[in-house]
Structure 1
Amino acid sequence: MDWDKLRIFHAVADAGSLTHAGETLHLSQSAVSRQIRALEESLNTTLFHRHARGLILTEQGELLFDATSAMRRRVDAAAARIRDSEEEVFGELRVTTTTGFGSLWLAPRLPALYEKYPDLKIDLMLEERVLDLPMREADVAIRMKEPSQADLIRRRLMTVRMRLYASPEYLAQNGTPERLEDMNRHRLICQNTSSAQVSAGARMVQELLTYDIPSMLTVNNYFGALQAVIAGLGVGVLPDYVIEDFPSIVRVLPDYESGEVPVFLAYPEELRQSKRIAAFRDFVTEEIIAHRKRLKDEHAVA
């Protein structure tokens, strides 16, 4: 089917007049009329009822107009994405990451991103399941391991370590562990070792369980584990990035921690030129640089 004829048909149906459609398309009325007749002949049907007040779509014309309207919407959406990739930062950006990182690190920092790009529409998808970026289940991902999917651009952002933390109130009431063996007198708050989580965290919990932990609370994400620690329920296994925003939490057994957990940002190759992706990537990178600087300054003061 001739796309140009469909474009002219849509303009005529929208305007209800050959003359008005011709003005919009910068074509003569006779040229528009010829294209409509040719389209009707190719479809072997009548698309318009013609009368003194203008043109009215036939039943077949209504069907075709619904189709061309849908096509127009898709083309407009594609044009918006092209403009986004070439000019401005706006539109929807679907970001996926873990519940803990998304709720404890990323979400509190998003106001700065919205202040810079107020027309962004971020859909933040927090779940442990790894979404399929090449299949466009999300636009960009932040994950605690290097993505294995093909056709992805990936950048290592930082490293995280799992450590032990407790509230001052809990430690005042129950004492502070001085060595790992002392954990057999404390409740452990952690993710269940069988749940989806970073392997370094699971190994750390498995090691702690060898010390005859008397009581436990397991939560399926670090946000819930942090809330339990803040509430004074016990000693929690938490990622080190939470402490910057919760300075009252006390690190327990400061010489004990997990191995490094790499944090990666990834997005599909086809979005390489997207201004939205670039804006988000640069924002996260800048926040991490600022985070490192604050930690360095704190260590220098200490």
Structure 2
Amino acid sequence: MDVNALTLLVEILDAGNLSEAARRLKMSRANVSYHLNHLEKSIGLQLVRRTTRRVEPTEIGLKLYEHGRAIQNALLAARESVSTLGQSLLGRVRLSVPSGYGQLVMSEWLIRFKRLYPGIVLDVMFENRVEDLLRDEVDIAVRVMHEPPQNLVARDMGAVRYVACASAPWAAEHGMPETLEDLARAPVITATVVGRQLRLAGYLGDERHEVLLEPSIISENFLFLRQSILEGLGVGIVPDYVVHDDLRNGLVVTSLDTWRLSIFGTHMYMLYMPNRHHTRAASTFIDYVLAEARKSGRGAVANDQVS
């Protein structure tokens, strides 16, 4: 069987549709479709199911994809070994991180990594969207969520703790919420998902409670949310790392500390595609970030596994 044909199949299934595969391969969509049809005819079996938006592998298509991916990974590893022989670590890592966690926690890690490995290009996107995490050929994504997608490798980077907090002057003047229901009546400052109602879950022991919030300030920019809290505009519902230094310095106070609060997720995960060849640069980066997460007291010790 032609190795190029297997590579084409891998690219089509990785891209998710023929048009995206054509863009990545710098071919016309008709040409990609022609080569796929030729491969299926040579085997005598259907390899992918086509819908209006996506292509999905058949059982035999998935088996051939796995063989093709293994061959592609071996070729990439061999090519990298030759190209980096006798050189310092080189390469590119395309990374997608949450805006708040990326700016307030990971920025220092990324800068230290870049100083350690000046030959590695870091291409970093700060975004919070959960859908289609690995679009645009992203190597690694970091996200807050309850459960990671089952089709991705997920590395646990630690629990995310939300706090109900306000500036010390605001708390002195208005008082802090003592129940979840108090939050529903307070001017809340938080992030939210566009088009969805914001439901705050609170856990007290084995009991789970839920309250619907109508925030007065909403943003995906956590630096702006932090500034709004410090300026006394209301009660923030944010991850603890957003106001960590402000709490330590007494600028911000918290309430409902016996509750475990949750909005978007309880854990931070590093996500990437299974069976995708990692360059030495990407593998080094993954190990470095997981080590930093462990040192910060957040990361869990975990092995690579598809969740």
Q: Give the TM-score category using the shorter length.
A: 0.5 to 0.7
What is aligned with 1:98? 98
Closer/same/farther in 2, CA of residues 82 and 149 from structure 1, 3 Å limit = farther
Closer/same/farther in 2, CA of residues 202 and 222 from structure 1, 3 Å limit = farther
**CA deviation after TM superposition for structure 1 residue 135, in Å:** 5.9
| Runs (5+) with no aligned partner, structure 2 | 1-77, 203-208, 299-307
SS of alignment partner, residue 155 of structure 1:
strand
For 1:85 and 1:164, locate their aligned partners in 2 and report how far apart those are by CA, in whole Å: 53
For 2:84 and 2:195, locate their aligned partners in 1 and report how far apart those are by CA, in whole Å: 39
What is aligned with 1:171? 171
For 2:239 and 2:124, locate their aligned partners in 1 and report how far apart those are by CA, in whole Å: 20
What is aligned with 2:285? 280
What is aligned with 1:235? 235
What is aligned with 2:160? 160
Is 1:216–2:216 an aligned residue pair? Answer: yes
Deviation readout 1:215-270 (Å, 9 max, x if unpaired): 72222343432221122211111012334344333222212332461221122345
For 1:81 and 1:115, locate their aligned partners in 2 and report how far apart those are by CA, in whole Å: 23
The answer (yes or no) to whether the contact 2:99–2:220 under 8 Å persists in 1 is: no
Letter of the 2:272 partner, please give it: Y
Match of 1:203 among 195, 200, 203: 200
The answer (yes or no) to whether the contact 1:189–1:235 under 8 Å persists in 2 is: yes
For 1:88 and 1:271, locate their aligned partners in 2 and report how far apart those are by CA, in whole Å: 23
SS of alignment partner, residue 258 of structure 1:
strand
Closer/same/farther in 2, CA of residues 81 and 221 from structure 1, 3 Å limit = farther
For 1:134 and 1:180, locate their aligned partners in 2 and report how far apart those are by CA, in whole Å: 36
What is aligned with 1:267? 272
Closer/same/farther in 2, CA of residues 290 and 271 from structure 1, 3 Å limit = same
Closer/same/farther in 2, CA of residues 109 and 100 from structure 1, 3 Å limit = same
The Cα RMSD (Å) is 3.7
* Matched positions, count: 210
What is aligned with 2:296? 291
Query: Identity of paired residues, percent?
Result: 28
Higher percent of residues as helix: 1
Structure ID, larger Rg:
1
Closer/same/farther in 2, CA of residues 207 and 92 from structure 1, 3 Å limit = same
The answer (yes or no) to whether the contact 1:166–1:250 under 8 Å persists in 2 is: yes
Closer/same/farther in 2, CA of residues 133 and 239 from structure 1, 3 Å limit = closer
Aligned pairs (5 A) from 1:5-44: none
| Runs (5+) with no aligned partner, structure 1 | 1-77, 294-302
**CA deviation after TM superposition for structure 1 residue 131, in Å:** 6.5
Deviation readout 1:174-232 (Å, 9 max, x if unpaired): 33334445446642112245457xx9x7434994447xx7x722223434322211222
The answer (yes or no) to whether the contact 2:178–2:256 under 8 Å persists in 1 is: yes
Aligned pairs (5 A) from 1:76-225: 79=79, 83=83, 88-130=88-130, 132=132, 137-145=137-145, 146-148=147-149, 150=151, 152-183=152-183, 186-192=186-192, 194=194, 202-204=199-201, 207-209=210-212, 216-225=216-225
The answer (yes or no) to whether the contact 2:163–2:261 under 8 Å persists in 1 is: yes
Is 1:257–2:260 an aligned residue pair? Answer: yes
SS of alignment partner, residue 129 of structure 1:
coil
SS of alignment partner, residue 292 of structure 1:
coil
For 1:272 and 1:157, locate their aligned partners in 2 and report how far apart those are by CA, in whole Å: 22
Closer/same/farther in 2, CA of residues 82 and 173 from structure 1, 3 Å limit = farther
Deviation readout 1:13-52 (Å, 9 max, x if unpaired): xxxxxxxxxxxxxxxxxxxxxxxxxxxxxxxxxxxxxxxx
Q: What TM-score, normalized to structure 2?
A: 0.56
